[in-house]
């Protein structure tokens, strides 16, 4: 079981003296403080600084400006202090039993853009972040297929454009002999893929040319997609879906956990899910602490993550306990899960991860006992 956190270099809520990637080791050490014997850790780096810059119309990898890239390339730094500092980070990561994942950049990324410059810049930036993932010995890399809200472009067209990009990324991956696991992630509607059908349709198409592809299943994104689709349920022909197969009345009539549970009808769910993203969901707020109201914190309030459904206001918040039950029932012994609570201070996120880890262990044991009984 690997339960971990994401670290984003543009996280605004952290203590002012903690800057990523400079203070990566401080994050690493404070995170380890919550480990029990035998716990395994996982960190997902969401590096948002641009990966490319351009000179004379040529795109170059942005080794000097993107400081994340200084970690693998510390040997090329002129400043001896910086060189030593980033060498230390790199050595510690390699020595630790924490596994790393890298998330593609999302700022200024729009592969749907008509502007060929923005399209090209977006793809190059993703390619360079894949190179970073390889240099960091990351075990997985997360790709957003269509990162941009486009309500007017038919979803079939969005799908085709993003498949062309995925084909290019696959060629780049194979040409460079990368070995990390590439994962597509479900996103918030109208980004793509947003529904169970779309995840399965995209996955089946991509694995034909990129057999190593897996799924990062984002639980809050599914929450918000369902909420947004419900809010638009009465608009005529609203969604330009990939095909008529997505059953909107089922998406809209079920509550969140019933919809989540129904997704196991798709062949790739849960079998091809490599990891889960989780975050507290309350109305349209999706990156909080699971089982807490947005104004609560895990030091003063018990997280509702192992309790009956009546503990939740189901019209407004996710039944986290039942959601975790479903995931435990879907998983063999190896659950990988990243808490995305970037609206919350780092200390609260770490405390929450520790509670989620304990709860998942308890739920797994309970299920094993039940199956053996």
Classify residue 115 by burial, with Cβ atoms within 10 Å: 0-12, 13-18, 19+: exposed
Nearer to Zn ion, 185 or 348 (CB): 185
What string of H, E and C letters represents the secondary structure of 302-325? CCCCCCCHHHCCCCCECCHHHHHH
The two three-digit tokens of residue 109, written as one number:
């990324």
Residue range at the interface with Zn ion (CB under 5 A); choices 183-191, 202-210, 245-253, 356-364: 183-191
Residue 49 · residue 108 · CB < 8 Å: no
Residue 330 · residue 264 · CB < 8 Å: yes
Position 188 contacts Zn ion (CB under 5 A): no
Shortest Å, Cβ 7 to Zn ion: 14
Residue 350 · residue 30 · CB < 8 Å: yes
Residue range at the interface with Zn ion (CB under 5 A); choices 153-161, 180-188, 254-262, 344-352: 180-188
Which one of 185, 198, 319, 342 is in contact with Zn ion (CB under 5 A)?
185
Nearer to Zn ion, 185 or 296 (CB): 185
Shortest Å, Cβ 147 to Zn ion: 8
Q: Which residue lies nearest Zn ion, judged by its C-beta? A: 185
Shortest Å, Cβ 144 to Zn ion: 6
Shortest Å, Cβ 46 to Zn ion: 8
The number of helix segments (H) and strand segments (E) in the chain equals 10, 12
Binding mask 196-225 for Zn ion (x = CB under 5 A): ------------------------------
Q: Measured between alpha carbons, how far is 185 from 217 in angstroms, rounded to an integer? A: 6
Distance separating the N- and C-terminal Cα atoms of the chain: 23
Query: Checking phi first, is residue 137 left (phi over 0); if not, alpha (psi -120 to 50) or beta?
Result: left
Residue range at the interface with Zn ion (CB under 5 A); choices 32-40, 63-71, 82-90, 178-186: 178-186
Shortest Å, Cβ 86 to Zn ion: 26
Q: Measured between alpha carbons, how far is 307 from 326 in angstroms, rounded to an integer? A: 14
Residues in a beta bridge with 273: 215
Residue range at the interface with Zn ion (CB under 5 A); choices 4-12, 151-159, 184-192, 360-368: 184-192
Residue 84 C-alpha from the chain's centroid: 31
Nearer to Zn ion, 48 or 296 (CB): 48
Nearer to Zn ion, 215 or 268 (CB): 215
Shortest Å, Cβ 182 to Zn ion: 13
Residue range at the interface with Zn ion (CB under 5 A); choices 75-83, 89-97, 179-187, 248-256: 179-187
Residue range at the interface with Zn ion (CB under 5 A); choices 33-41, 58-66, 177-185, 203-211: 177-185
Nearer to Zn ion, 70 or 189 (CB): 189
Residue 99 · residue 40 · CB < 8 Å: yes
Shortest Å, Cβ 44 to Zn ion: 9
Shortest Å, Cβ 277 to Zn ion: 7
Q: Which residues contact 105 (CB under 8 A, 6 or more apart)?
A: 47, 48, 49, 50, 51, 125, 126, 129
Nearer to Zn ion, 127 or 185 (CB): 185
Residue count, binding to Zn ion (CB under 5 A): 1
The two three-digit tokens of residue 37, written as one number:
């014997």
Measured between alpha carbons, how far is residue 224 from residues 191, 256, 261, 327 in Å? 11, 10, 16, 18
Nearer to Zn ion, 147 or 321 (CB): 147
What are the residues binding Zn ion (CB under 5 A)?
Answer: 185
């Amino acid at each position: 079981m690997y339960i971990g956190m994401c670290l984003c270099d543009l996280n605004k809520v952290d203590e002012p003296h903690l800057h990523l990637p400079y203070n990566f080791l401080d994050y690493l050490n404070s995170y380890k403080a919550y480990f029990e014997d035998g716990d395994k850790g996982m960190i997902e780096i969401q590096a948002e600084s641009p990966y490319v810059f351009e000179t004379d119309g040529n795109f170059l990898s942005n080794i000097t400006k993107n400081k994340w890239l200084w970690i693998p390339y510390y040997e090329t730094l002129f400043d001896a202090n910086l060189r030593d500092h980033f060498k230390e980070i790199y050595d510690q990561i390699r020595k630790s039993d924490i596994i790393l994942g890298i998330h593609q950049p999302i700022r200024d990324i729009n592969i749907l853009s008509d502007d060929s410059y923005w399209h090209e810049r977006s793809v190059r930036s993703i390619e360079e972040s894949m190179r970073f993932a390889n240099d960091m010995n990351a075990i997985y890399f997360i790709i957003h297929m269509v990162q941009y809200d486009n309500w007017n472009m038919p979803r079939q067209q969005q799908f085709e454009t993003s498949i062309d990009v995925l084909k290019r990324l696959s060629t780049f991956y194979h040409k460079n002999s990368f070995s990390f696991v590439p994962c597509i992630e479900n996103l918030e509607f109208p980004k793509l893929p947003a529904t169970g059908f779309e995840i399965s349709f995209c996955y089946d198409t991509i694995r034909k040319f990129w057999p190593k592809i897996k799924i990062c299943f984002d639980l809050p994104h599914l929450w918000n997609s369902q909420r947004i689709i419900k809010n638009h349920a009465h608009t005529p022909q609203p969604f330009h879906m990939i095909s008529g197969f997505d059953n909107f009345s089922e998406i809209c009539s079920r509550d969140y956990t019933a919809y989540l549970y129904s997704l196991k009808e798709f062949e790739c769910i849960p079998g091809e899910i490599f990891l889960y993203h989780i975050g507290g969901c309350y109305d349209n707020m999706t990156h909080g602490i699971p089982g807490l109201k947005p104004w609560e914190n895990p030091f003063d309030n018990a997280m509702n993550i192992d309790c009956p459904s009546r503990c939740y206001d189901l019209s407004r918040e996710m039944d986290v306990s039942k959601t975790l039950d479903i995931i435990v029932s879907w998983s063999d012994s190896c659950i990988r899960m990243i808490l995305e609570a970037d609206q919350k201070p780092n200390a609260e996120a770490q405390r929450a991860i520790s509670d989620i880890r304990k709860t998942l262990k308890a739920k797994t044991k309970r299920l094993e006992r039940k199956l053996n009984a």
